[in-house]
Amino acid sequence: MPNCFGQSPPLPSAIHPDATEPYSVFDSNAVAPPIDFRPQQIDQMAEIPIQRFRKSFYQGAEVLGGHLFDTGSKLGGLDMTFEEARVSFGVPLGSLENILGLRPYFRATHLNGPSISISGNDLDVPETLYETGVTFLNQKTWTEKISTTIIVSPAVRSDLTTSEGAIRIFGLGLLNYQCSDVWKVSVGAVYLDREDVSLLPAIGFTWTPSPDLKFDGMIPRPRLSKRLWKQGGEAEGWVYLGAGFGGNSWAVSRDNGRKDQLTIRDYRLMAGYEVIRAGNRGLFIETGYAFGRSLEYVSEDLERDLDDGVFIQASWRF
């Protein structure tokens, strides 16, 4: 049958979700079929899907960390280091085709950067910024071809010295249409609740021409992935190239005691290696280049450009 791009798809292939997304923990509910150990069945054995969803309320934990190195001296430079911890839980609402996920998390971002005066304005930044909240997720399959993804994540983003404007809500809504085994299109919106950008369209497609290759053309986070190895239904390793929109907004207290909103923004290109294991386990490590970096305070309408940066970050799911 022709797909939604007017092309006839190749043979069915397994689609492997992006494990770094907040909803990827519950993307697969496939069960391995009975195995015939005759020689001609070796290829089918190799393509047993990875069982991502644990058969329990507890879905695992994850720790992340990384560092961004400022490559210049503009405004004195701004290096950033972060640590994050997450715990995931999942509740099937009647079946594995309708999942409610919950993920509490805590993140600390440490800044080593500007504390200078420009035209009478003090460009000071806190030493540490915090974000803590709970991510709620629902993925539901309505028909063989139509599914939806909804994510709502209320959180506190601040330096923990003020509560003014500290409560923020991230939201994502997607309508997905599976045109064929190779093509899927999605349309929706992502609500960032940031001072610089509040709302962005989330639109694009996923192309999986073979089990070893996947292109996720979703804006604002495209990604090209290539599988390097696979161990039946237990584990597989991928390399990837991607792009993204970084930064966030936090409620802070300035050095003079004023309550303010700090926004740090950048755009990112990255490459990484990821291992996906059954039961929502695995790891990834990635490095990349951050450009278009800026720092902004709302109260003074003060925005300053920063030099580009190089970053490295990693995650372990267990």
Read out DSSP for 170-202?
Answer: EEEEEEEEE-SSSEEEEEEEEE---SS--EEEE
Distance, in Å, from the CA atom of 212 to the CA atom of 214, rounded to the nearest integer, reads 7
pLDDT at residue 124 in the model: 84
* Each residue's pLDDT tens digit, 269-305: 999 999 999 999 999 999 999 999 999 999 887 788 9
Q: Angle at Cα 149 formed by Cα 147 and Cα 152, nearest 5°?
A: 160
pLDDT beyond 70 at 20:
no
Residue 16 tokens read as 């492997």
The pLDDT > 90 percentage for the chain reads 69
Tokens 């990834």 identify what position?
Answer: 284
pLDDT beyond 90 at 208:
yes
Contact 142, 234 (CB under 8 A): no
pLDDT beyond 60 at 7:
no
pLDDT at residue 226 in the model: 98
C-alpha closest to that of 288 among 249, 244, 226:
244
pLDDT at residue 47 in the model: 80
As a whole number, the mean pLDDT across the chain is 85
pLDDT beyond 80 at 75:
no
- Summarize the confidence of residues 169-182 as an average pLDDT: 96
Least confident residue range of 64-68, 114-118, 211-215, 301-305: 114-118
- Summarize the confidence of residues 113-126 as an average pLDDT: 64
Q: Give the residue with greater pLDDT, 113 vs 72.
A: 72
pLDDT at residue 122 in the model: 55
Task: State the sign of the Cα–Cα–Cα–Cα dihedral 207, 208, 209, 215.
Answer: positive
E-strand spans in the chain?
A: 58-70, 79-95, 98-112, 115-118, 121-124, 128-141, 146-158, 167-178, 183-191, 199-210, 213-216, 223-231, 235-253, 259-277, 281-297, 302-305, 309-317
Distance, in Å, from the CA atom of 309 to the CA atom of 295, rounded to the nearest integer, reads 14
- Summarize the confidence of residues 160-178 as an average pLDDT: 96
pLDDT beyond 90 at 76:
no
- Summarize the confidence of residues 124-151 as an average pLDDT: 95
pLDDT at residue 16 in the model: 33
pLDDT category of residue 11 using cuts at 50, 70 and 90: very low
Q: Which amino acid is at 130?
A: Y
pLDDT beyond 80 at 139:
yes
pLDDT at residue 44 in the model: 46
pLDDT at residue 92 in the model: 84
* Each residue's pLDDT tens digit, 23-74: 332 333 333 334 343 344 444 445 888 988 888 899 999 999 999 999 987 7
Within a 10 A sphere around the Cβ of 32, how many other Cβ atoms? 12
